[in-house]
Structure 1
Amino acid sequence: MINDAISPLDGRYFEKTRALEPYFSELALMKYRTMVECEYLIALSALGKTALRKFSPSETKTIREIYEKFDDASYKKIKVLEETTNHDVKAVEYFIKDALAKTALKDCVEWVHFAITSEDTNNIAYALILSASLEKVIVPEIKIILGEINGLAKKHKDLPMLARTHGQSASPTTFGKEMKVFASRIEKQLEYLVAVKIRAKLNGATGNYNAHFVAYPRIDWLAFSKNFIHDLCLEPNLISTQIECHDNYVAIFDTLRRINTILIDFSQDMWRYISDGWIIQKPKAGETGSSTMPHKINPIDFENSEGNLGLANALFEFFARKLPVSRLQRDLSDSTVERTFGAAFGHSYLAYVMLLKGLRKIEINETKIKQDLMAHPEVIAEAIQTVLRREGVEMPYEKLKELTRGKAVTMDDLSRFIDSLKVTDKVKAELKAITPLNYTGLASKLAS
């Protein structure tokens, strides 16, 4: 924990968010920038159409080791250089040049950052950061949550439960089916998320390959840019201004925001089920729920998750509004915003961790769920009036409305109502067989 950290992500929640450190720390950003610059230098050499000589395998290895062995000392060297340059990417360039100047590659140092702008380096670095953090951390964590929810759906697919619409008792469902609703929603958004192709550009100061073309007009720089970005497992954007337009970043952030919104909905429902006694939280020895009320076990993990999901979504929503907008060929306002990507991902990841913590210490109170369902026999009024419609009985809805709306009814009341109907004994038996516990339609099948 960093005791004097401004953000709780680096203070109170330091240990819980460390999985994102290799991607969103300042050191990580410098490492990814260094990687882009080094791989660009190697690609220029491999092209074989410039004055830059072809590197030997050992020389290529030497260049790659600059970022592969990037550590605190490397980072500190860049920060020292930045004190003079007041430009972080230029400091990265000088750091690489200094490293190469001590090797057999000293004759090639001026090819570092050749013809490109800092945003070429930056946008590719951020694209790689987003791609890696999604693949290695965020998506796997969401899949774990999905697995937990699907597990609840499968285990409790046949557990009848009172549904509520507008906060009022409604046609029964099953606990498992309600879990499956959330799982299904998350699965669909995950499909969208992994399908987003992260784009990047490498085309110079205003997107026209000006410096590249003036130096080597016979080289197909469009093909070079396309191949270079493809080799980094990214999608090339060949037409841009100085900046990559960030539209596909927004697609990622909007999809994460939808996933987070689904999980807010889920957290709030779980909170309500705990409040109703339908879900029991297992106590942990030594923990305190309230500083004054000794009995309490508060649903703090679900509440913590909900709060962090909201914080993340506020940032994602701002990113979506801000990042696609840049004055003319480029202004710098996106740069400081990009540095907060880690905050949005950090609050999301923390929310996922806390949600999983909450899910792993609950038990479903089947007895209480069934008791509460049976306390609302009025929910089968829909079933009765629907069967009566089938049988051609006049105004069945109105008859059931008169019997049940705004009134406390019992199963005996419904039984007497059924006895009074002018239908066959077979239909009466059919109606009396309907109970809140078995009037769940296809819920069990839907949950499977």
Structure 2
Amino acid sequence: MTEAAPDAVETFARETKEELSLPPEGGTKGWLCVSGAFLAIFCTFGFLNAIGVFQTTYEETILHSYTPSEISWIFATQLALMWAPGPIFGRLVDTYGAAPVLYPCSFLCVFSLCMTSLADEYYQIFLAQGLGFGIGAGGVFTTAVVCIGQWHVRRRALATGIATAGSSLGGVIFPIFFHRVMERVGFYGAIRYTALMIGILMAVSCFLITARLPRKKWDWQAKWFDVTLFKQKQFGLFTIGSFLTMWAIFAPLNFLPSMAQQNGFSPSLALYLISIVNASSTFGRTIPPYLADHIGSFNVITSSAALSGIAMLALWLPFNYHSSHTGLIFFALAYGFFSGAFVSLLMPCVAKAGSIETLGRRFGTFQIIMSISNLTGLPIMGAILVRQGGVDFSGLQIFAGVNCILGSVLLLVATYSFGKTQGTWKV
């Protein structure tokens, strides 16, 4: 009896430790964190989903002397900074908790928009809206995603999908809100009201988002970027496929309003196309992730990348030659659903693309690669548009559609390889 007692105590301690190491799936704090992440992503990624409104407005007013490609560098920088600082922000959250990243980055987002409302030169807008808001949004977005991952494992795809649906809702509300307010108080006044709304919502999110894991010491030996990860065939194929798809995924959000206006849309209806894309994307960021928890995230993300490319080539490209209000609205609905699924499942797939020992390095490496994709995609397509006189969108449409198709092929090969390795098609 005396010898068995220590064994029983050790067994109990081990089981207790294992239980504590697992997130309380569905717990109150876990779902409050998802709610806070929803608001945070609404204010950051959701605001960035309205880049088409700013692209069109800048082309027609403040920055009319600059080419579409030059203007798109502002938004490409924003999108790239959503990913590039991810490794350092993620490690800060893992080490010190959410507050040291979430609070200052939330303030930076609001401050940057206030500075944008005072800017009237290209470099000023680039520094405030491009760099300032981009860095702040990247910190808020990374904190939200990391904290969700700490609270949810089995339902990670669903929890992440619900949170990232905030970006779609933001993409619906911000274009309408900004356009209506701009009609009453002007462009700069609309930016200030937008900053006020974002500031209030981010303050609420700061109370709701919490890290589950305790603080720990900074690991100076941890790698930020690890090229040896690409020796793992599946991860390498998945990353390259995601790069090609991400290269093109924001093309409609940026250039669709300009194209619509040139095809006879009223300025308000052209801008509302962004809201239509994002309204449909709300369902794309929730329904497919729910299915992904049952049939596999890699299967769903591969399908969404392929269908996004097909939508651009079959439903968007033809209307460059034959204008149709109904056709462009139908494309916005279809594309929003397919592309929304792709964006929401990226990080859950990265989490499954290797062992737990390489999770941090894998996230960091993947995010840096995605930042390069986001930084270069829009300017390349803007340059193609300039080469075609600024009125023919076929070149950038073909570029975007073909890259999505090529990306889906590589994702399919990666998915097949994962399935063969794991002995199941549900990957």
Query: What's the TM-score bracket when you normalise by the shorter of the two chains?
Result: under 0.3
Q: Which has the higher helix share?
A: 2
TM-score, normalising length: structure 2 = 0.26
Q: Which has the higher strand share?
A: 1
TM-score, normalising length: structure 1 = 0.25
